Structures are given as C-alpha cells and as structure tokens.
Structure 1
Amino acid sequence: MAVLDVPDGGADRGMLLAIDGSGDLHLLIRLTAPASAEDPPDLNGIRVRRRLIDESSFLDLIAPASNERVFSGMCSEVIEAVAVRGREPAAATAAIVRKWQAALRNSKTMMEQRAQVGLVGELYVLKQLMLPLLGPSAIDQWSGPHFERHDFVSGDVHIEVKSTRKSKHEHEISRGDQLNAPDGKSLLLVSVQLESTIAGNITLATLIDEILAEIQDDFTAQAEFIDKVERVGWSDMLRPSPELMRFFVRAIAVFEVDDEFPRLPDELELPSGIISVRYTVSLANLPSLGQDEVMERIVAANAP
C-alpha cells in the first residue's frame, strides 16, 4: 500500500492517504481514544473500517478509484473537521460520511438500458481485445465517450462497436457517416450479441473494475478511463441499484466494412429538410474476420 501524509495539518493528527494494490483509495485516521460513534453502513463502494497498524488504532475511510471525486470531497471535509477544527475523529467521520451517502442516495442513479447495452459492448472490446494488445495506451484510443464517429481510433484502423440483445447480427446505424472510414484508413465493425439475464456474469461494474485492475500501475490511464466512463453516464451509484443490467456474451464477430458491407452509398444526398437517417443492417450473410487477423491488423496499425 502506497502511503502519503495528509496536508493542512492532517499528518500532525496521524492522518494518512493511501492507495492499495487493487487501486482502492484510503484515508487513515489515527484514533487516540475509543471510538464514540457507530460506523456508517457501506454504500456505493464507500466503506469505513477499523484497523490496527503498528499497535495503533486507525479509522479507515475507503472508496474505489472510480469514486475518486466523491472520495476527495469527503476527505476534504474530514481533514478540515479533524485536523483544523479538532473534532473527535470517529464521530466527525461518521457524520460526514452519512451526509455524503444521503446526497448520493437521493441522486439520480438511472442509466437507460440502451446506454448500458452499448457501453457493455465497448468495454468488453476494450478489455478483451484492445488492452491485451496495447496495454494502457488502449484507453487513449477509446474515442466513443467523446462522441467521435467511431468507438476506437487505433492508428490506421478505426473500430465501431455495435451491441444487440437480438440473437442475430443486426444493428441500427444512427449516423450517416458511421460506416465511412476516413481516407487512408480501414474500418472494422465488432458485433456483440448480449443476453440480458439476472444470472449474467457481466455488468458495467464488473467490466469497469476489471479494466481498472488491468491498468492499476498507470494512474494517468486510470484517471482518463474514469473520466470517460463518467462522460457516458456511468456512476458508482448504479452498482447496488436493481437498474444495473447483467449479461452473458452470446456471440462476437468482427466484420470488414468494405464495398460488400451493407450501407448507404457515400454519394447519397438527403433531400432538403431531412437532416438524419437511421437504418438497420443485417450481417448474417457476411464473412467475419478471424481473431488472429484482427489482432495482427491492430498490432500492425500501432507499430512504430
């Protein structure tokens, strides 16, 4: 566990900031007397525990790295209350944590099902394909949260991810240029079939945690990843919510978007007054690319 002194007089009161091996954030507060308050319950990944370190008792305020913004605000209030105002550590911490938990409980936790389906597909491709090939630099190549044309921009290869709960490779195309590759670039479409079921072993929460674990040694990549998932509507408040969907991956296939791919022609001009078009493509009769070929193309696109 990496440990740092707390600024603003916190170190003088025996307070320490820490990051453990799994990326969780900690504020350790030395207890000089038996705690006078009951610890608040766990909520949204925020936990309070008692620890004995080198024969000294500590109160440990813990949050996952994905909850860094909330954790920073709580820590600032705890440090000010204990180190500056001299309040009793356990009572002050319990009161502050409960206040933040109440605010979180009353906040919006809903993420639409369609948004969850789409994001699960992108994160699954990030975890299963891009990270193993490229390491933490894959986080930078994930362009979907910035609402660019394609979900990944990997050198000369662009990748669009389409997720569906149907049992066949059919997808809605929501932008007229979504199946167009920039000049000199190639475009791959990854079709992810998901089965939504209460017994599913994949959720947004599990994927986010697994990706953060993969990049735990690169704090810049972690911060960028957290920012991106929050941009597309993720909140840790969804973790305990019944609105969090669970999935199995039924099938995944990768297709080359070439002249044989079903799409609107590049030269199509929409009539005056029509500003957007949505249409559905079926990929049932198209040959898919092999896994080795896809991996070789991504690696080659990122070669120095």
Structure 2
Amino acid sequence: MSNLQHRFFDPDSLERLFAEREISRHRVIDTPRCEITIDPIHEEIALTVPAEGSEPDVSKFSRISFAVLGDGPDSEFEIRVDATDAHFEAYNILTAIIDGLFAGSSFARATTESLGSYKALLRGKSGLSTEQQLGLYGELLLLRQLIAYLGEANAIEAWLGPASEQHDFVFGAFDAECKTTISEKRIHTIGSASQLEKIPGRDLWLISVQVTRAGLDSGESLNELVTDVAASLDMEADKFWGYLRGLGWRREDGDLYSQRFILRSPIQTYLVTEDFPAITTAALKSVIPHFETVSDVSYRVDVSSREPATPPDPLHITKSIDQQV
C-alpha cells in the first residue's frame, strides 16, 4: 500500500528534476509527513520528516548525512544522500525509509533497515545496476518454474538472457523476452531494436513482471532467489554460476542484493504481433536512411492497456508464479 502512495518519481521524471538545476521540495505522503528535496546543484537528494523518536546512526556511511533542522515542535529529521551518478538508486534509499515509516517503524529503525539494503551504493562497492537486478529477478522467477516443470537441463538450455542473445528464452517453436519493472504501470525498457523483433517463422512473447519492495518478513530478495535456484540444480549448476558471473554477479557480494520484492500484480504475457508497439530493425530501416550507422537504440513501452494472451506450454507456468512470491 505504501508503494502506491508515494512512488510518483520514475527514473525519467527524476532525471528531469535534476536537469532543471533548481532545488525543489516535494510532499510525498501526508501521514507521516514526508518530503523529498531534489538538489541538482550539489547532486543530492534528501528526505525530511517530523523529528520524532531517536536519531539514526549513519556515521558508517560516507555518502549519507543526518541533521536535525530547527527546534521545538516544528523541528525535522533530515537524511541526505550523495546521489552522484546514482540518482534513482539514492531516491530508492529514501523511499525505502518512507515504506518503513508508513508501516509503523520508527525513523531510526526504518533508516537502519533501508541503509542495510543499499550497501553497494553506500560503500561504493561495485555490483549490478538496479536495472540489471530487476531484469535478473524476473528471469529467475521464470527459470525456477521452468526447472521444476522441464527439468534443469532443458530449463538452463532455454535460458539465453545472460548469454546476450536476442531473446531471453528460446523454446521449441517460439521465443520469449522477460521484462521486469518496479513502476506502477507496465512500463518496460527495451534495450535494442532487436529485443522485440521476431525471428522469421517463430512467435515472440513478452513476459511482463511487476514487482514492488517488500518488508523484512515478506517477499524474496535477489540473493535469496539466486540461492534457491542454485540449490535446485545439480549437473547444470556450473553453467548457472557461469551465466551469473558473466552478468557481473559475485557470490561474495550476495549481501548487496538483500532488498526483498513481491509481485505487484500477476505476471502477464503478450504475443508480439504486427500491431504491437515495438521498434524493430526492419521498421527503422524502412524510414531511416543509412540505418546501419545508428546505434544504441532503446525505448520504453507501456503495455498496461494491452490485452494479455494465454501463452503456450511451457509459458503457461507463469500463472503459478503468482502464488509463490
């Protein structure tokens, strides 16, 4: 519930605010009163709330500062995050604190739990980007079900996403592209002109996964999901870990991915047809002269209003995922 109340900044709208070069303050929720300040001048983002309860200890984090603003009944607690080169990640730290406050936690506890979930950013330790984490999360949800349904050899053979192939999963007669979003709408980032391009003679399905952050006692973290999938493998375990290493995953960094997620809505599947809103290589070639000189094509597509379709075997197992996350 809290997620729906305060997540009105997506990556694009946040970047627009930072690009304006003017400090802006935004009321996020009213109870408890939480306000987000975007400071493009210093490339920082801050959360202010009424000063109630004990103060959090942020002394271990070089990119986090805490201050008490004012005095008396109108005083405020402020958590400020250095958002250099990580605007949306810094914003997510603060919205995780708001989640905790909305759920009834004290400011000190909500802050401690949020900072613990974002060690990679705060320690300056390398790790998967937020987009990579979400993408892997969605793919592993499907892979886990495929392992149970098809067996580990067939499931791992079908999973081509980490190998940077055109589509994430390849089955006997069709392909599937899995996209995961944390937004309230089914808005997915398509990273190239080939991702939603069908291979001649084969159908292409888009698997739309919507997740939202969960509390400590619900959902599943990416680290837990990776561990669970690995535990279900025997002969294919080495190939699985090899795929993850290729993505930049290191087992010793598992604690960096402790943020827990739950499904925001049931997983939906869409058949990519001629009227699907996809930018493809063929379409671009027909309208852009010397298309071969164009690179790094990416776009966002909102499929919220499109009618999902019933997928063929084995993609029908996506319906059972809803009951397990």
TM-score by length of 2: 0.53
Q: Give the direction of change, closer, same or farther, for the CA distance of 1:125–1:296 in structure 2 (3 Å limit).
A: closer
Q: Distance in 1 between matches of 2:195 and 2:260?
A: 28
Q: Give the direction of change, closer, same or farther, for the CA distance of 1:240–1:173 in structure 2 (3 Å limit).
A: closer
Question: Structure 1: any 5+ residue segments left out of the alignment?
Answer: 1-105, 300-304
Aligned identity (percent) is 29
Q: Distance in 1 between matches of 2:166 and 2:275?
A: 21
Q: State whether residues 140 and 224 of structure 1, in contact with CA within 8 Å, keep that contact through their aligned partners in structure 2.
A: no
Structure 2 partner of 1:246: 260
Q: Distance in 1 between matches of 2:276 and 2:283?
A: 15
Structure 1 partner of 2:305: 285
1:245-299 deviations in Å (ceiling 9; x for gaps)? 3211112111111122111253322344532322111112211123xx4335679
Q: State whether residues 133 and 222 of structure 2, in contact with CA within 8 Å, keep that contact through their aligned partners in structure 1.
A: yes
Say which one has the larger Rg: 1
Aligned residue pairs total 187
Q: State whether residues 127 and 249 of structure 2, in contact with CA within 8 Å, keep that contact through their aligned partners in structure 1.
A: no
Q: Give the direction of change, closer, same or farther, for the CA distance of 1:165–1:135 in structure 2 (3 Å limit).
A: same
2:274 maps to a residue whose letter is D
Q: Does 1:214 align with 2:232?
A: yes
Structure 1 partner of 2:130: 113
Q: Which has the higher contact order (CA 8 A, sep 6+)?
A: 1
Structure 2 partner of 1:149: 166
RMSD of aligned alpha carbons? 2.4
1:248 maps to a residue whose letter is I
1:218-267 deviations in Å (ceiling 9; x for gaps)? 32x111111111111211222233x5332111121111111221112533
Q: Distance in 2 between matches of 1:125 and 1:235?
A: 21
Q: State whether residues 159 and 169 of structure 2, in contact with CA within 8 Å, keep that contact through their aligned partners in structure 1.
A: yes
Q: How do 1:155-234 residues align onto structure 2 when only pairs under 5 Å count?
A: 155-199=172-216, 200-215=218-233, 218-219=234-235, 221-234=236-249
Q: Does 1:134 align with 2:154?
A: no
How many angstroms does 1:108 deviate by?
4.7
Q: Does 1:267 align with 2:287?
A: no
Question: Structure 2: any 5+ residue segments left out of the alignment?
Answer: 1-122, 318-325
1:56-79 deviations in Å (ceiling 9; x for gaps)? xxxxxxxxxxxxxxxxxxxxxxxx
Structure 1 residue runs of 4+, over 4 Å off?
Answer: 106-109, 296-299
Q: Distance in 2 between matches of 1:173 and 1:112?
A: 16
Q: State whether residues 157 and 298 of structure 1, in contact with CA within 8 Å, keep that contact through their aligned partners in structure 2.
A: no
Q: State whether residues 205 and 239 of structure 1, in contact with CA within 8 Å, keep that contact through their aligned partners in structure 2.
A: yes
TM-score by length of 1: 0.56
Which range is displaced more, 174-183 or 260-269? 260-269
Q: State whether residues 156 and 185 of structure 1, in contact with CA within 8 Å, keep that contact through their aligned partners in structure 2.
A: yes
Structure 1 partner of 2:55: none
How many angstroms does 1:125 deviate by?
1.2
